[in-house]
């Protein structure tokens, strides 16, 4: 396996985008923040920097559109690498709509037991494709911001970015 990556600039700092080809299809396998708990070099396999890659260029373009407020849904093939429990959590997270949040407990209940909330939190923290699979949309049971592999300031920024304009304006007053 040969992973390829590029680094882009964003309003929340540098982001490494990591891609792989599986069964002839280019897939996003990693979105990593500089200074975050996860790093691009944590990805399995050989990591090669690519200067000109149509797939990575497209992923970068979609992220730029997201940060500009022009994109709510990513249209990228994603290959989530993890165990079955992690994948089930990431699938639930991927289903959270732009501008919405769910709690770790709600996701745990969807999996069959609210007692799984901490395990859900651990799995969310290991999500390799943050932003695209929006784990920033998962909050504590009281609605407070807790846990984010990219750091709490980034989580706050992403949630505020997704707020409807009327909510954002009301919050300013």
pLDDT tens across 9-18, in order? Answer: 999 999 999 9
Q: Residue 89 in 3-state DSSP?
A: helix
Domain 2-67 has CATH 3.50.50: no
The whole-model pTM stands at 0.86
Where do the domains of the chain lie? 2-67, 84-172
Instruction: Supply the pLDDT for residue 77.
Output: 97
Structure tokens at 9: 């600039």
Q: Residue 167 in 3-state DSSP?
A: helix
Q: Which CATH number describes the domain made up of 84-172?
A: 1.10.10.10
What's the pLDDT tens digit per position in 49-59? Answer: 666 799 999 99
84: pLDDT strictly greater than 80: yes
- Whether 27 sits among the annotated catalytic residues: the reply is no
From the candidates 59, 76, 93, 135, give the one annotated as an active-site residue.
135
């Amino acid at each position: 396996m040969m992973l390829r990556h590029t680094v882009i600039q964003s309003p929340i700092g540098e982001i490494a985008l990591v891609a792989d080809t599986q069964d002839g299809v280019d897939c996003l396998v990693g979105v990593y923040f500089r200074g975050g708990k996860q790093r691009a070099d944590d990805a399995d396999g050989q990591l090669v920097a690519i200067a000109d890659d149509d797939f990575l260029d497209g992923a970068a373009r979609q992220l730029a559109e997201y940060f500009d407020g022009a994109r709510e849904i990513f249209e990228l093939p994603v290959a989530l690498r993890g165990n079955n429990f992690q994948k089930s959590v990431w699938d639930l997270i991927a289903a959270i709509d732009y501008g919405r949040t769910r709690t770790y407990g709600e996701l745990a209940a969807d999996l069959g037991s609210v007692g799984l909330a901490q395990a859900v939190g651990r799995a969310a923290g290991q999500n390799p494709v943050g932003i695209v699979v929006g784990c920033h949309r998962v909050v504590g049971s009281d609605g407070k911001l807790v846990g984010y592999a990219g750091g709490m300031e980034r989580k706050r920024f992403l949630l505020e970015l997704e707020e409807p304009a009327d909510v954002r304006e009301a919050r300013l007053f």
